[in-house]
Amino acid sequence: MERKHITRVVLAILAAGAALGAWWFLREGQPPITYLTAPVERGAISQLVTATGTVNPVTTVQVGTYVSGPIKALFVDFNSPVRRGQRVAQIDPRPFVMKVKQAEANVATARAQVEKDKADLNFKQQVLKRARELFERALIAKQEVEAAERDYEQALAQLQLDQARLAQNLAALEEARVNLGYTDIVSPVDGVVVSRNVNVGQTVAASFQTPVLFEIAQDLTKMQVNTNVSESDIGGVKEGQSAFFTVDAYPERQFWGRVVQVRNAPQTVQNVVTYDVVVSVENPDLALKPGMTANMSIITAHREDVLKVPLAALRFRPSSRQENGEQPRWPVELHRLPAAPGDEGTGSQPGQQVWVYKGDNKLQPVQVQVGLRDDTYGELLAGDLREGEQVVTGMRTAEKDGAPQPSIPGFGPGFGRRMRR
C-alpha cells in the first residue's frame, strides 16, 4: 500500500510538471499582442481618378514659310512677345525681287504688243471700209473685199490673243509679288514664341512640306493639361468636374482646374486603352511651362461632413484566439446613417466588417457599409459606429523588453519559439 501511494504521488508530480511545462511552452510561442487603432472621424471625403498628363498652351500656332531660301534675318527669339502681323524672320528676298522685275518687264512687253495690235486692227478696219465703198461703186472685185474682211478678223483675233497674254503676265507679276511678300515671315496671332527652329543663314526648303520655323503660344496665362485616363476609370469622369495636380518644379503647390473635354477617341498603347481628358487651368503668374508633366487627380465625387472609416480597418482580420465577442451572422440589420445628397451610384459594398477595440485586448465586430473612398478613408453609409470610436487597423506581437523569455526546463531558452518555426 505504501508503494502504491508513493507511485501515485510521483505520477501527480509528473503531471503537474507536464502541465507547467505546457503552460511555459504556450507562453513562449504566443508573445503579447499590441493592436494598432485609428479613430472614426467626421469630415470631407473625395473620390479621385488619378492620371498623368502634360501641360500645354490652349492654342499653339506653328509658323512656317511658303517659299524656299536662306534665312537672312531673325527678329524674335525664345520667349519673345509678338503681335499679330509682326515680322519675325526674313528669307533672302533678292531672287524674288529679280522675279518681280522680270514679270514687270513681261507685262510691259505684253502691253506694247496689245497697243500695236490695236493700231493694226484700226488700220485693217479702215482698209475694209474703203474696200466696201469701192465695191459698191463697182471699182474693185469682190475678192478684194473678202481679203480685207479676212485681214480685219485676223487683226481682231491677234488683239484678243495678246490681251490674254497680258492678263497672264499680270497674273505672273502678282504671283511674283506675293512670293516676295512671303519672304517676310509674320506672326498670325498675338502671343509668345515658345520654339525657334532656324538660325540665320540656314536654308529652308518648302518644296514638299512646309517647314515649321516658330511655335507661338497665343496666351500662356491660360493653359490646359492633356491627360490619359484608363478605360476602367473613364466612366466616372465628366465635363465640369474639378481637378488638381502637381508638377515636379513645384512639388508642394497644388494647381486647380476643371475638366473641359472628355474625348471619345481611344488611344491604345501595349494593349492598354486610354482616353484623352482635357483640364483647363489658369496660369496668371506663368509658373506653369509648356511640356511640364502633371500628376493629375480628378474629383469624380465629393461629400462633406460624413463619418469616415480607415480603409485599413476594413482589411484587418484577427485570428481565432484574438476574437472576443460573437461574430454576427449574415445578413444582419444595419444601422443605416442618414443619406447624403447624391449617394446614388457611389459603389457601396455591403457585408464589410470592422473590429472595434474595447480595451484590455478585447475586440467587437461591427458590420458596416462603405460608399466613397479615397486613399485612406471610406465613407460610412451604414453601421453601428460613432465618431471617435477606435477601430483596429493592424496588430503586432512583441516580447517583453529586457526580460528573459521562459522556457521548459532541460530544453533551453527559446525552445518553444524554435518548435513553432
Domain ranges of the chain: 49-58+219-304, 93-182
* pLDDT beyond 80 at 20: no
Query: Running DSSP on this structure, what letter comes out for residue 336?
Result: B
How many angstroms separate the CA atoms of 18 and 6, rounded?
18
How many angstroms separate the CA atoms of 285 and 283, rounded?
6
How many angstroms separate the CA atoms of 123 and 375, rounded?
99
Q: Which of 78, 91, 61 is nearest to 204 (CA)?
A: 91
* Topology adopted by domain 93-182: Helix Hairpins (1.10.287)
Angle (CA) 180-185-190 rounded to 5° is 140
Give the whole-number percent of the chain exceeding pLDDT 70: 79
How many C-alpha atoms does 22 have within 13 Å on its Cβ side? 6
Give the whole-number percent of the chain exceeding pLDDT 90: 67
Q: Which of 57, 56, 55 is nearest to 219 (CA)?
A: 57
* pLDDT beyond 80 at 387: yes
Q: The dihedral of CA 21, 23, 27, 29: what is its sign?
A: positive
Angle (CA) 91-94-100 rounded to 5° is 110
The reported pLDDT for the residue numbered 352 is 86
The reported pLDDT for the residue numbered 414 is 43
How many angstroms separate the CA atoms of 416 and 414, rounded?
5
How many angstroms separate the CA atoms of 100 and 177, rounded?
6
pLDDT tens digits along 121-136: 999 999 999 999 999 9
What integer best gives the mean pLDDT of the chain?
84
* pLDDT beyond 80 at 144: yes
Class of domain 49-58+219-304: mainly beta
* pLDDT beyond 90 at 6: no
pLDDT tens digits along 210-256: 889 999 998 899 999 999 999 999 999 999 999 999 999 999 999 99
Q: What is the dihedral of CA 321, 326, 331, 336, to 10 degrees?
A: -110
User: Can you tell me whether residue 273 is helix, strand or coil?
Assistant: strand
The reported pLDDT for the residue numbered 31 is 61
